[in-house]
Amino acid sequence: MLDVLQNLGDGFAVALSPGVLLYAFIGCLVGTLVGVLPGIGPLAGISLLLPATFGLDATRAVVMLAGIYYGAMYGGSTTSILMRIPGEAASVMTCIDGYAMARKGRAGPALTIAAIGSYIAGTASVVALMLLAPPLAGFALRFGPPEQFALLVLGLLVLAYMSVGSMLKSLAMATLGLLLGTIGIDHMSGYQRYGYGLHELGDGIGVVPLAVGLFGLGEILATAGRAKPPEVIHPRFRDLLPDRREMREAAAPVARGTILGFLVGIIPGSAHIIATFVSYAVEKKLSKKPEEFGKGAIAGVAGPESANNAATSGAFVPMLALGIPSGPVTAVLIAAMMVHGVQPGPLMMTQQPTLFWGFIASMYVGNLMLLILNLPLVGLFVQVLRIPYGYLFPAIVMFCILGVYAASGSIVDVWIMLIMGVLGYVLRKLDFETAPIVLGLILSPLIELAMRQSLSMSNGSYTIFLEKPIAATLLAAALVLLILGLLPLVRGVADWRARLAAADGDAESK
Amino acid sequence: MQPRLPLRLTADRVAGLALIAFGALAIVESRGLPVGSLREPGPAYFPIVLSLALIGFGALLLAFSGGGAGLRELGWEEARHALLIVLGAAAAIFLLPRAGYVITIALLLFYLLAVVARRHWLLSILVSVGLAAGTFALFDMGLRVLLPRSPLGFF
């Protein structure tokens, strides 16, 4: 422990040196802007700015690129809360209650809680990263294909079970998302599935066009033509900060989101996204007022935002301790380190202690910088809501098109966004939740790969999922959820969702 | 003898039928791909399992959707506006690679502001051109995100 503190002290000496501090600030600032702009996520931001770091030494380069990464995570919540356009996939869950809060005139508290939650989660998970990196990375390595398959199936069922609407409809939407996720080249056989001659579909349907269509354009189609369009909101200065009740209600979700996000972040895959979905579902289940979720519950912003940022630090565990990327962003960061002659992995701590501990210390400094940078900007961002809706919705349609095109440079993706917008509108009318489609699309390649690898390992026997203790436990939990969710439907009795919907309807009719 | 009432078209029934149709379509579209075996599942294996699940969920929705709101009762007052926005966006996406970013987006914004939202035409022109040019400058020139150019080579 003393060694850790001593190394951290040396790390702070590096992180607080003016040269490194300046590049951490540049990274955080650029990252926040990248996150706020729709369509330019952390991956695009880091990739675009990677060549700019070639002239720097390894420490400055890595500190700046990491700053862009977690800066983009902070900034990504802004368009989700103000316009219901997720800047990147990890902000999808923030759209739901963040935007509902904005429509109620509480955009300021939503943005502030998102920033504070991100700061707490970011800082706390760096402590965990520092102390738990080696043992946790070892545990994550015990997750083979059967365990991964079971974990992903459980994740989908948790989301379906926690949804306030019908579990049957949520499962159907998750399955639709999984099916859409099979479009593209099958990486195990090389076959093109459902491509219809469009080479752009080789990589499948992207998360950005799907999420922007379902959430951004779908929302505009549902609201722009209403006899009473959403009101123009004129937030006052005192409304920019969360009140005492909101702070109290956000505290526990921030803590839970931090722990959950960090643990999920360690597991390779689309960790942030899964962490935010699971955090939202957990908060909804634990809430005393689950009926407020979807209508502006602060816990629905605090939990996922904290989980998102904690997962960012969690993702660094396998990257730094084992040299394994846990997602595309960490893969680019590893590439950046290798360009500068640094090989991430178990030997990095001993061979490059200055870089390793400087990087860890810079994350503390970077998170504080981001909080200082983001809080004053809340007032500026909220001014967007003063724009009359007749002017705002055309701008949102423009950003939907621009954001999707900027993310991939593909006009096919923009067409997909439009189709998904129409689908999102129709599904809203038919009372379906659209978030499970996004999760299904993201998890589809991971679930399919894990399932096929497991079956190859067991010579085609499904019993492999029951022979592995971790996988069997996770699948048993998934089965219990499935039975709990579908039994009331078969027996024709009202379950907690139906009672909630009825109570909600009564409350609205009064 | 009383005439039999036609089956009421509820939202859940329509949704159930749509899910079954989509699942069936996915199975038909998978026919050219190898299914493989349990030991070595082929590229059609997972999509077919999912399609069957989707058909199952659709059938359950049909079976247990006795009541529920009728399709007409859902309230479609915004549908005309939604259709106008979709048509405008579709035209813009078609034009984008042909006419370039600034011209296309300026036309789209003008259409949405002046025609759909019925704002004053002069203000609509100013906002449309300003936003189209401003976002082009920020994204294309500032952030080097290559946006489509007009056939004349600029914007």
Task: Select from B39, B50, B89 the Cβ nearest to the Cβ of A401.
Answer: B89
Task: Select from B38, B64, B135 the Cβ nearest to the Cβ of A489.
Answer: B64
Are A172 and B34 an interchain contact pair (Cβ–Cβ within 8 Å)? no
Does the pLDDT at position A162 exceed 80? no
CA–CA gap between residue A185 and residue A195 (Å, rounded): 8
The answer to whether the beta carbons of residues A424 and A215 sit under 8 Å apart is: yes
Average pLDDT for residues A229-244, to the nearest whole number? 67
Which of B21, B40, B74 is at the close of a domain? B74
Contacts of residue B77 in chain A, CB cutoff 8 Å?
225-227
Q: Which residue has the tokens 């859409």?
A: A180
What are the tens digits of pLDDT across the range A140-155? Answer: 667 788 988 888 888 7
Provide the phi-psi class of A460: left if phi over 0, else alpha when psi is between -120 and 50, else beta: left
Amino acid at the residue A353: P
Are B131 and A451 an interchain contact pair (Cβ–Cβ within 8 Å)? no
**DSSP state letters, A379-424:** HHHHGGGGS-HHHHHHHHHHHHHHHHHHHH--HHHHHHHHHHHHHH
B108 and B85 part of one domain:
yes
The answer to whether the beta carbons of residues A367 and A126 sit under 8 Å apart is: yes
**Neighbouring C-beta atoms of residue A279, cutoff 10 Å:** 30
What are the tens digits of pLDDT across the range B22-67? Answer: 999 999 999 889 988 888 888 999 999 999 999 999 998 888 776 6
The answer to whether the beta carbons of residues A148 and A450 sit under 8 Å apart is: yes
B58 and B89 part of one domain:
no
Does the pLDDT at position B1 exceed 50? no
CA–CA gap between residue A107 and residue A100 (Å, rounded): 9
Enumerate residues 146 to 185 of chain A having a beta carbon within 8 A of any beta carbon in chain B.
168-169, 171-172, 175-176, 178-179, 182
**Neighbouring C-beta atoms of residue A397, cutoff 10 Å:** 27
Are B40 and A460 an interchain contact pair (Cβ–Cβ within 8 Å)? yes
Task: Select from A175, A226, A459 the Cβ nearest to the Cβ of B78.
Answer: A226
Which residues of A124-194 form beta strands (DSSP E)? Answer: 184-185, 192-193
The answer to whether the beta carbons of residues A70 and A309 sit under 8 Å apart is: yes
Are B11 and A176 an interchain contact pair (Cβ–Cβ within 8 Å)? no
Total domain count, chain B: 2
Q: Which of A372-376, A411-415, B82-86, B128-132 has the lowest mean pLDDT?
A: A372-376
Query: What pLDDT is stored for residue A10 in this prediction?
Result: 84
Residue B134 resides in a domain? yes
Domains of chain A, by residue range, sit at 2-509
Does the pLDDT at position A417 exceed 70? yes
In angstroms, the separation between the Cα of residue A225 and the nearest Cα of chain B is 4
Residue B125 resides in a domain? yes
CA–CA gap between residue B138 and residue A27 (Å, rounded): 19
Beta bridge partners of A192: A185
Does the pLDDT at position A499 exceed 70? no
B105 and B68 part of one domain:
no
Query: What pLDDT is stored for residue A506 in this prediction?
Result: 47
Query: What pLDDT is stored for residue A509 in this prediction?
Result: 43
The first and second tokens of residue A403, run together, are 């954001």
Query: What pLDDT is stored for residue B17 in this prediction?
Result: 93
Query: What pLDDT is stored for residue B45 in this prediction?
Result: 92
**Neighbouring C-beta atoms of residue A350, cutoff 10 Å:** 8
The first and second tokens of residue A462, run together, are 């499904």
What are the tens digits of pLDDT across the range B54-104? Answer: 999 999 888 877 666 777 777 788 889 999 999 999 999 999 999 999 999
Query: What pLDDT is stored for residue A504 in this prediction?
Result: 45
What are the tens digits of pLDDT across the range A246-278? Answer: 888 889 999 999 988 888 877 655 566 778 888
Amino acid at the residue A394: P
Query: What pLDDT is stored for residue B110 in this prediction?
Result: 96
CA–CA gap between residue A369 and residue A70 (Å, rounded): 11
Query: What pLDDT is stored for residue A493 in this prediction?
Result: 64
Query: What pLDDT is stored for residue B114 in this prediction?
Result: 93
CA–CA gap between residue A19 and residue B130 (Å, rounded): 39
Amino acid at the residue A56: L
Q: Indicate the Cα dihedral angle A8, A10, A11, A13, nearest 10°.
A: 130
Query: What pLDDT is stored for residue B74 in this prediction?
Result: 76
> Which residue of A176, A447, A457 to mutate against B (max B Cβ within 10 Å)?
A176
CA–CA gap between residue B77 and residue B73 (Å, rounded): 11
Q: Which domain holds residue B29?
A: 11-74
B21 and B62 part of one domain:
yes
Q: Which residue has the tokens 């859902």?
A: B74
Which range scores top for mean pLDDT: A11-15, A29-33, A413-417, B70-74? Answer: A413-417
> Which residue of A47, A179, A183 to mutate against B (max B Cβ within 10 Å)?
A179
What are the tens digits of pLDDT across the range A294-347? Answer: 888 899 999 998 998 888 777 777 677 767 666 667 777 777 787 778 877 767
Which of B74, B100, B127 is at the close of a domain? B74
Does the pLDDT at position B106 exceed 50? yes
Are A394 and B109 an interchain contact pair (Cβ–Cβ within 8 Å)? yes
Helix, strand, coil content of chain A in percent (nearest 5) = 80, 0, 20
Are A225 and B92 an interchain contact pair (Cβ–Cβ within 8 Å)? no
Query: What pLDDT is stored for residue A51 in this prediction?
Result: 67
Which stretches within A295-410 are classed as H helix? 299-322, 328-339, 348-351, 353-382, 389-408
Average pLDDT for residues A56-81, to the nearest whole number? 81
Enumerate residues 331 to 350 of chain A having a beta carbon within 8 A of any beta carbon in chain B.
none
- Is the CB of residue B26 less than 8 Å away from at least one CB of chain A? yes
Q: Report phi then psi at B36, rounded to 5.
A: 80, -160
Element (DSSP H or E) covering residue A444: helix A435-457
Which of B33, B51, B74 is at the close of a domain? B74
Task: Select from A40, A171, A421 the Cβ nearest to the Cβ of B143.
Answer: A40
Q: Indicate the Cα dihedral angle A483, A486, A489, A490, nearest 10°.
A: -60
ipTM: 0.92
Provide the phi-psi class of A303: left if phi over 0, else alpha when psi is between -120 and 50, else beta: alpha
Q: Report phi then psi at B79, rounded to 5.
A: -60, -35
Beta bridge partners of B70: B10
B87 and B133 part of one domain:
yes
CA–CA gap between residue A57 and residue A53 (Å, rounded): 8
Contacts of residue B53 in chain A, CB cutoff 8 Å?
175
> Which residue of B14, B27, B74, B143 to mutate against A (max A Cβ within 10 Å)?
B143
Q: Closest-CA residue in chain B for A393?
A: B112
Q: What is the mean pLDDT of chain A?
A: 80
pLDDT band, residue A16 (cuts 50/70/90): confident
Best CA proximity match to A174, nearest among A484, A483, A426, A435? A435
Are A176 and B22 an interchain contact pair (Cβ–Cβ within 8 Å)? yes
Amino acid at the residue A85: I
SS3 A193: strand
**Neighbouring C-beta atoms of residue A268, cutoff 10 Å:** 20
Residue B15 resides in a domain? yes
**Neighbouring C-beta atoms of residue A201, cutoff 10 Å:** 20
Are B14 and A224 an interchain contact pair (Cβ–Cβ within 8 Å)? no
Are A37 and B143 an interchain contact pair (Cβ–Cβ within 8 Å)? yes
In angstroms, the separation between the Cα of residue A189 and the nearest Cα of chain B is 7
Residue B152 resides in a domain? no
Are A193 and B33 an interchain contact pair (Cβ–Cβ within 8 Å)? yes
Are B113 and A394 an interchain contact pair (Cβ–Cβ within 8 Å)? yes
Beta bridge partners of B10: B70
- What b/e readout covers A114-146, taking b as 16+ CB neighbours within 10 angstroms? bbbbbbbbbbbbbebbbebbeebbeebeebbbb
Q: In chain A, what percentage of residues exceed pLDDT 90? A: 10
**Neighbouring C-beta atoms of residue B9, cutoff 10 Å:** 11
Q: Report phi then psi at A141, rounded to 5.
A: -70, -20
Residue B155 resides in a domain? no
CA–CA gap between residue A43 and residue B132 (Å, rounded): 25
Element (DSSP H or E) covering residue A229: none
CA–CA gap between residue A20 and residue A26 (Å, rounded): 10
The answer to whether the beta carbons of residues A367 and A121 sit under 8 Å apart is: no
Q: Which residue has the tokens 């190394």?
A: A7
The answer to whether the beta carbons of residues A20 and A63 sit under 8 Å apart is: yes
Residue B122 resides in a domain? yes
SS3 per-residue string spanning A79-112: HHHHHCCCCCHHHHHHHHHHHHHHHCCCHHHHHH
CB pairs under 8 A between A and B: 174
Element (DSSP H or E) covering residue A222: helix A218-223
B15 and B43 part of one domain:
yes
Q: In chain B, what percentage of residues exceed pLDDT 90? A: 55
The first and second tokens of residue A376, run together, are 């004053």
Task: Select from B41, B86, B117 the Cβ nearest to the Cβ of A390.
Answer: B117
> Which residue of B9, B81, B94, B113 to mutate against A (max A Cβ within 10 Å)?
B81
